[in-house]
Each structure stands twice: as C-alpha cells, then as structure tokens.
C-alpha cells in the first residue's frame, strides 16, 4: 500500500465541538460537515461532533446529506443552500431540511406526502450577497410557508460576510436580521430556530449566538483568523503524512525534478516521498518555499512537486527509507500548520484542508465517543 494518507484525530474534533458548545451555551451547535467535513471525512466528523455535543449537522448539497443518512446518522441535517426543485423527493425520503430563499422549491415540496409538515429554514440575505431572500421579501416567503399546512417554518437565518475582521459590518448584518425578525413577529409568524453565526461569529459575537450557531472551521481545530478566540484551546485534527520511499546522494549543482528549477547548493541527500499534486500537494508549494517535516525537523523541497511524488533536500540528515514525512500538522516538537500553507499560497486555511484529494485515504485516530 502506498504509505501516504490524511490522518484525522476524531477525538480532537469531539474536543473542539464540546469546547465550542461550552462557550456558546445555551445556544445549540450545528456542526458543518460539508465538503467531506472540510476534507476530514464527513461521517467520522459528524459522529465526533455529535459525541461532542452538536445537536444537528449542516451540509451544502443533497448528496452530502444522503451520505450521512446512508451511514446511519440520524441527527437533523440542514442544507445550507436551496436545493433544485427536482431534489424535493430526495429531501423527504432522506429527511434533509432544506434552506429556501425563493418560491421554487415550496410547491414541489408541499406536494409530497409525509407524516408531518416538511420543515424548512428561510435564509435572508443581510449583506453577504451570495444567496438569500431580500429582507423586504422575507415576510412574504415566511407567510407563504406558514400558511401551507404541509410545510413548517422551522428556522430563519442569515450568514456573515466578514465576521472574522469587520465588527461594524457584522453588527450591521445582525441589526438587519433583527429587523427582519421584528417584521415576522409583527406579521404573527413564529421564526423558530434563529441562527446567524459561523465560527468567527459564534466565538467573537456573543450577541450573534441566538438559538444556534453553525460552526465549521472551529470544530476541525482551526481559526478563521489568528485573533478569533485566541485563548480557546482548539486542536487541529488533520495531519497529512507520507514516508520516505527512496534516498540518493547527489553532488552540488544537481537539479532534481521537472523543470530543473533548483540547484543543490552543496552535495546533499535527496529524499523522494510518494505524494504529489494529484493528492492536493499543490505544485505551487515547491515554488514558494514550502517545507516538510522529517524526524521533527524542517526540510525544503529539492525541486518541483510532481503528480505522484515530491523530492526533499535532507542535506546530511540521518534519514532512512520508511521514515515518516509530515506535510501538514505536527511531528515531534515542530509543526506545519494549515495557516503556513495558506500564507505561502495566498489563500485561507479552509481551502488548504479541503484540498487533499480522494486518492489519500483518511485514517482515523482516537475515539469519537
């Protein structure tokens, strides 16, 4: 077997959820496990989150919800986007709770049989401007849902655009949301579960916790920005691990790998490691100063990342075939956090952890419950 994998500490996810749940209580935690649990594996992440105190789960699309149900997960599952009307039947069959912000889904959903009215959450756009009903349209949609005996308005929500770094705009979004809630009250409509906060919103704005928070990044032990709840103990759950497959000594001036981009400054040992850009170790990483850990020490790439393998300049270090190589995460006293990749690659830690491909098996450590 290829000795490369993504290692996920489910006990860390459980710990992070229970830590966050303690901070936001009495608000409930909805654990966001979309995109295969931000690359950590959706089913194990969901189980660990529930064990840690999450009362519900959220995903982006119907297929993600179905995967959780097929694995036997019974917690409520909220879809964060309005599914296409053609998915109405699957929603009912798999007991997935859709978000709506238009009229498109309501008729097909209401037309389906069920033991009880189908729950829906109404999303209002208060400033993210991606999806969501205009505040002025919210009462009309909510009224339509409330008036249909086959539908039930279970929740009303919005989403922050800059909760990690712009308190003024975030408070403005919250105020717009409160004003929609006031309009609903005035119209005699029960909003149900009110929720607005993502990880940064939940940890930085107590007034935004309302009835429930939707936390994704934080449950995986990462922060949306370094200052977010800086003194809260969150444990990164992911390590990306491989092992040295081959070692060769080369003279000064040797230029390993495609493009012959980099010359060894002195005679050195080059370690080959069987993981590459097809696994999500992006090719750019070797061009922007990326490093890996072997034996708890940092070493630079010796040349360009290839599809299936990388080369590492290990200098004169005492390294053997089979030694563990860490691309992301901790090894001994040293660590390469997702934020380091993000800074080098001019992106965010969210994209880094979502970027490791399906060719890398996920290996689970620790007990979820």
Interface contacts to ligand PLP, rule CB under 6 A: 32, 34, 80, 159, 198-199, 214-218, 224
Q: Is 220 a catalytic residue?
A: no
C-alpha 139/C-alpha 119 separation (Å) is 17
- Are the C-beta atoms of 267 and 253 separated by less than 8 Å? no
Q: Is 258 a catalytic residue?
A: yes
CB of 359 to ligand PLP, least distance (A): 24
Q: 9 or 204, CB closer to ligand PLP?
A: 204
Q: 82 or 279, CB closer to ligand PLP?
A: 82
**Distances, alpha carbon 56 to alpha carbons 16, 46, 147, in Å:** 15, 9, 26
Burial 235-251 (b: 16+ CB within 10 A, else e): bbbbbbbbbbbeeeeee
Instruction: Check 34, 205, 350, 364 and give the catalytic one.
Output: 34
Burial of 188 (0-12, 13-18, 19+ CB in 10 A): exposed
Q: Which residue is nearest to ligand PLP (CB)?
A: 216
Q: 203 or 244, CB closer to ligand PLP?
A: 203
C-alpha 143/C-alpha 145 separation (Å) is 5
Q: 4 or 199, CB closer to ligand PLP?
A: 199
Q: 202 or 336, CB closer to ligand PLP?
A: 202
Q: 170 or 198, CB closer to ligand PLP?
A: 198
CB of 140 to ligand PLP, least distance (A): 22
CB of 275 to ligand PLP, least distance (A): 26
CB of 240 to ligand PLP, least distance (A): 19
CB of 352 to ligand PLP, least distance (A): 13
CB of 218 to ligand PLP, least distance (A): 6
Question: Please, what sign has the CA dihedral across residues 197, 203, 204, 207?
Answer: positive
Q: For 289, left (φ over 0), alpha (ψ -120 to 50), or beta?
A: left
CB of 232 to ligand PLP, least distance (A): 14
Q: 216 or 276, CB closer to ligand PLP?
A: 216
Instruction: Check 101, 258, 277, 364 and give the catalytic one.
Output: 258
C-alpha 163/C-alpha 229 separation (Å) is 12
Catalytic residue numbers?
A: 34, 258
């Amino acid at each position: 077997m290829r000795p490369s994998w993504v290692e996920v500490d489910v006990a860390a996810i459980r710990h992070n959820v229970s830590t966050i749940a303690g901070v936001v209580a009495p608000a409930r935690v909805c654990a966001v496990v979309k995109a295969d649990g931000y690359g950590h594996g959706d089913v194990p992440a969901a189980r660990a989150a529930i064990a840690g105190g999450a009362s519900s789960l959220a995903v982006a699309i119907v297929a993600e919800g179905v995967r959780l149900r097929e694995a036997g997960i019974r917690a409520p599952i909220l879809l964060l986007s309005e599914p296409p009307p053609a998915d109405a039947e699957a929603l009912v069959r798999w007991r997935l709770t859709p978000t709506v912000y238009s009229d498109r889904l309501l008729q097909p959903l209401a037309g389906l049989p069920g033991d009880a009215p189908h729950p829906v959450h109404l999303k209002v756009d208060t400033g993210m401007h991606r999806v969501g009903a205009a505040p002025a349209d919210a009462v009309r949609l909510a009224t339509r849902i409330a008036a249909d005996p086959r539908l039930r308005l279970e929740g009303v929500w919005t989403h922050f655009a800059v909760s990690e770094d712009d308190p003024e705009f975030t408070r403005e979004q919250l105020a717009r949301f409160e004003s929609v809630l006031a309009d609903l009250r005035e119209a005699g409509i029960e909003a149900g579960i009110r929720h607005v906060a993502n990880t940064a919103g939940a940890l930085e704005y107590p007034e935004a916790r309302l009835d429930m928070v939707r936390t994704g990044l934080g449950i995986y032990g990462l922060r949306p920005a370094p200052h977010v709840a800086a003194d809260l103990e969150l444990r990164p759950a992911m390590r990306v691990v491989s092992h040295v497959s081959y070692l060769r000594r080369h003279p000064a001036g040797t230029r390993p790998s495609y493009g012959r981009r980099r010359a060894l400054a002195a005679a050195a040992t080059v370690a080959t490691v069987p993981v590459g850009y097809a696994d999500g170790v992006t090719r750019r990483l070797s061009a922007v100063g990326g490093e890996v850990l072997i034996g708890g020490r940092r070493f630079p790439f010796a040349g360009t990342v290839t599809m299936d393998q990388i080369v590492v300049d290990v200098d004169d270090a005492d390294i053997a075939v089979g030694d563990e190589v860490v691309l992301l995460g901790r090894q001994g006293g040293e660590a390469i956090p997702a934020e380091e990749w993000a800074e080098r690659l001019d992106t965010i830690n969210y994209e880094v952890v979502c970027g490791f491909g399906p060719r890398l098996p996920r290996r689970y450590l620790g007990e979820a419950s």
